Amino acid sequence: MSFFKRKIPQLFWNQLRNVSSTRTTKHVLKISDLSQKELRDVLTFATVIKKNPKDYATSLKDKTLLMLFEKPSLRTRVSFETGMTQMGGHGIFYSIADSPLGQKETFGDTGQVLSRYCDVVMARVKNRRDVRELAKHSTIPVINALDDWAHPCQMLADLLTIAEYKGGVDKLSQIRMCYLGDCHNNVTYDLMRSACVLGFHLNVCGPVNAGNGKEHNVDDEVLEECKDICKQYHKSTDLNKWLTITDKPEVALRDNIDVIYTDSWMSYGVDPKDKEKRMRTFMPYQVDTPKLKMAKPNCIFMNCLPAIRGMEQAADVIDGPQSVVFDQAENRLHGQKALLFYLVHGHMDVKRLSK
């Protein structure tokens, strides 16, 4: 074999490795991994893409998203795969339920291999350690599509929906939200981070006090994270300005609430044997019509789905006129398209793609 055939490919790959190692790669593992400006910009950009989808039909041309699933999800797979298709790219589904990350090979090896195949990786996993390790060793963006600690893609959909109903992205800092249900929850934690990043007030309400142990309490580490976020963006560590945690729905709902939010009591991974116990524990926090009437007349009801009528919410609430759950589900698509564009291109200006 000639010198050219033997040496040039190796020189090329060495140069590529050097470029990749010096490039700053943006990962989104929790909503606070986006700065306040980035979060507002992604949400604003999502509204533009939603209104003008054809303008972005080739914006991810020849780009590939690998979707790693340890936990199943209808909305996550369909929204990500559809989003890539609508923007001219390609999404690959790969189940890691039977082949967990970090077992057959190291996270380092997996991250390096995927970084050479794909442009971005999305992972929906049981444990935050796994997605963090994957991101640590990847030179392409990694998106957390859910773990036990955060759900940033859901936050983009939620905040986009609230902005649509409550005056726009610039008005998000003025809303008051109440979350009712399990406070020891990935959605709860990212809602808390969202409130602290954007500056709106969130009342977190569930069985958090004595008699229930710490099974449903907010994790202390999340509270410390929120203090750090508030210090960064609002120059204060007084969480009471942005967060209230209580076990009393009448307290959580008394403050001119704009948004009531709940989540499944039987999330993936919860033992079905615990259903009756969890229903007894959470029933005081079910979103029913009396609770909805305690909020503002134009309050919207949200649930990230899937939902079970008669559990976390009454049927007349989720099927009623104040429910926006299907707008919320649709906005997974638009929020993720904006995020994918930003992570792949490093900006949010489609006109720059042709330059």
For residue 334, indicate whether it is catalytic.
no
Q: Residue 91 is which amino acid?
A: G
For residue 151, indicate whether it is catalytic.
yes
Residue of 216, 304, 322, 334 with catalytic role: 304
Residue of 75, 124, 176, 216 with catalytic role: 124
Q: What is the CA radius of gyration of the chain?
A: 21
Residue of 119, 182, 247, 263 with catalytic role: 263
For residue 174, indicate whether it is catalytic.
no
Q: What is the DSSP string of 8-28?
A: HHHHHHHHHHHHHHHSPPP-B
CA 146 to each of CA 50, 72, 105, 267: distance values in angstroms, whole numbers, following the listed order: 23, 10, 22, 12
CA 205 to each of CA 124, 174, 252, 261, 315: distance values in angstroms, whole numbers, following the listed order: 26, 20, 6, 10, 21
Helix, strand, or coil (residue 145): strand
For residue 347, indicate whether it is catalytic.
no
Q: Which two tokens stand for residue 248?
A: 């009393």
Q: What is the DSSP string of 73-134?
A: -HHHHHHHHHHHHHTT-EEEEEE-SSS-TTTSS-HHHHHHHHHHH-SEEEEE-S-HHHHHHH
Residue of 27, 40, 75, 151 with catalytic role: 151
Residues 6+ apart with CB under 8 A from 42: 34, 156, 335, 338, 339, 342, 348
Residue of 27, 201, 332, 334 with catalytic role: 332
For residue 304, indicate whether it is catalytic.
yes
Residue of 86, 154, 286, 322 with catalytic role: 154
Catalytic residues: 124, 151, 154, 263, 304, 332
